Amino acid sequence: MAVFTLMAQGVTLANAGNASPQLTFTAEFTLTASASLTGIWFYSPAGAAGLPDQCVLFDTSTQAEVSGTLNASPSWSGAAASGWVKCTYSPVALTSGHTYLVAVHVPPASSDGYGKTSAFWTTGPGASGIVSGPLSAPNYSTSTLQGAVASGQSSITYPTITESGAYFGVDVEVTTSSAVTGTGSTAASKPSLSGSGRESMPGSGGVRLPAPGLSGAGKESFPGSGGTVAPSPSLHGAGWTTVRGSGGVSLVKPSLAGAGRAAARVSGSGAIALVKPSLAGFQQAPAQPAQTGSWWGLVSVLRHNQQEFDAYQSMPSLACPVCGEPLKPPPNTPAGAATELYCPYAGDHQYHEPRDRVRPMRPSTGRPGVM
- For the whole model, what pTM was predicted? 0.50
CATH number of 2-176: 2.60.120
Rounded mean pLDDT, 50-75? 95
Strands (E), 125-253: 130-132, 135-137, 149-151, 170-176, 186-187, 192-194, 197-200, 203-204, 207-208, 213-215, 218-222, 224-225, 228-230, 234-236, 239-246, 249-251
At 13 the pLDDT is: 87
Check pLDDT > 50 for residue 213. Answer: no
Q: pLDDT for 282-341, tens place per residue?
A: 455 566 555 555 566 777 788 888 888 877 766 767 778 778 788 788 777 777 666 677
Q: pLDDT for 13-43, tens place per residue?
A: 888 776 667 899 999 999 999 999 999 999 9
At 294 the pLDDT is: 54
Q: Specify whether the CB–CB gap between 22 and 110 falls below 8 A.
A: no
Mean of the per-residue pLDDT values of the chain: 73
For the chain, give every domain's residue range: 2-176, 188-285+294-314, 316-371
